[in-house]
Amino acid sequence: MNLFDGVISISNVSTLLFVVFATLMVGYALGRITIKGISLGDAGVFIIALLFGALFFHVGDAGLVFAGSAKPYDFSSGLTLVESLGLVLFVTSVGFIAGPKFFGNFKRNFKSYVLLGLIIILAGGLSAAGCIGLGEVVGYGGTIEEQDGFVAMIVGLLSGSLTSTPAFSAAKATVAEEYQALVSVGHGIAYIFGVIGVVLFVQLIPKLTKANMDEERAKLVIKEEGEKKSFTGKLFEIDHMGIAAFSLAAILGTLIGQIKIPLSSAGLSGTCFSLTTTGGCLLVSLILGHFGRIGKVSIMPAGTTLKLFRELGLVLFLVGAGIPGGAEFVENFDAMYFVYGIIMTICPMIIGFLFARYVLKLSLLNNLGSLTGGMTSTPALGTLIGTAGTEDVAAAYAATYPIALIAVVLVSQFLIILF
């Protein structure tokens, strides 16, 4: 009798693990290649994952199938698990890291973070609307059915260009059932540049502006007024690495992320908004990281644990998202749609950066940290931390991310209703 009752065999588990670790090994090697100070870093893992997906996987009737498998088996669920685990590890680590300085930073820059998050997503929405108009001019969407399908594709491109899973889910729930596959196709086409574009942008801007990183890091330091006195007694730790505290945040965050808020008169059977596991874990870990303890019990994981989980989570997420993305990209590639996706990544990114710099007057690292949150770009934050040489940029990401998360869901739905 099969150990997993036919759901998955030992050989399939071994294949999945082999692919994950092979992708990590080759991807890290690619990420180390530096040309004029610019490198892919962790995004090298994403590039290799895309190539692995394009070369060794294909989308068939059985799902996402490995080319070397003796029997067709759908690896989608396994890679989804890898992606989800990676996201939980990454965002929970970011929340704990940002927590001690988050609320002071958010209080000082509340209006800036709200405005920037809204400006970025509105720019993305207007870019999408412009692409719909351009598509009509060049001949896409002649009949009503074709028009509806084209709009579904564009909204999928928008969610992919902003690497936003909540927007992707909301768009699929809003369009008619026959167009849901088009949302998925659009998301997959735009997702690739949505990741790579922002990763390269946060590395290029400090070089193009010839920023003094020591000075920029100093501007980012937050001196808390009326700083709380440290606790004089020794805190009780459940385990010295803080994995139990980390797990607590992940459990609570997952539960909170499943709460659904109806956005239509149909109630829970219609369109709903939720923080998702990602947003829930980020919120809970920010709060726990801010307080650091409950009574005499420490709820703050060790710094080494957070750094390890942050890095591990990021690359697992890139592998889990990249391999299916590579396979689907090959199956559904359309040059014009790919260009539309590039437009919907570049426009909000540049507009957001310029608005933060010249209108909000944010310092460079605060600007770029907020930008990664506004673009809902998890990989770009990982790259920015390495480029900036400080984890303090995570506080700006965490402050802007929830605003953008809610806005992109609403904008995606509004585009479908409007067009």
Judge whether 337 and 183 are in contact, CB under 8 Å: no
- Structure pTM? 0.79
CA dist 172 → 62, 101, 111, 154, 239 (Å)? 22, 37, 32, 12, 42
Six-digit token pair at 276?
């998702």
Give the residue from 207, 226, 256, 203 showing the smallest Cα distance to 368.
Answer: 203
Tell me what the mean pLDDT of segment 175-193 comes to.
82
Six-digit token pair at 95?
């929340």
- Output the average pLDDT for the chain: 84
For 351-374, write each residue's pLDDT tens digit: 999 999 999 999 999 999 999 999
Confidence (pLDDT) at 416: 81
Burial tier of 209 (Cβ tally within 10 Å: 0-12, 13-18, 19+): exposed
pLDDT tier, 5 (very low <50, low <70, confident <90, very high otherwise): very low
Instruction: Enumerate residues 6+ apart whose C-beta is below 8 A from 403.
Output: 113, 114, 116, 117, 118, 373, 374
- Residue type present at position 322: G
For 80-139, write each residue's pLDDT tens digit: 899 889 989 988 998 899 888 888 878 888 889 999 999 999 999 999 999 888 877 666
Backbone dihedral angles phi then psi of residue 251, each to the nearest 5 degrees = -65, -50
Residue 257 CA to residue 276 CA, distance in Å, equals 4
Tell me what the mean pLDDT of segment 227-252 comes to.
83
Confidence (pLDDT) at 227: 42
Portion of the chain with pLDDT greater than 70, in percent: 88
Instruction: Enumerate residues 6+ apart whose C-beta is below 8 A from 7.
Output: none
Backbone dihedral angles phi then psi of residue 236, each to the nearest 5 degrees = -80, 130
Residue 99 CA to residue 334 CA, distance in Å, equals 42
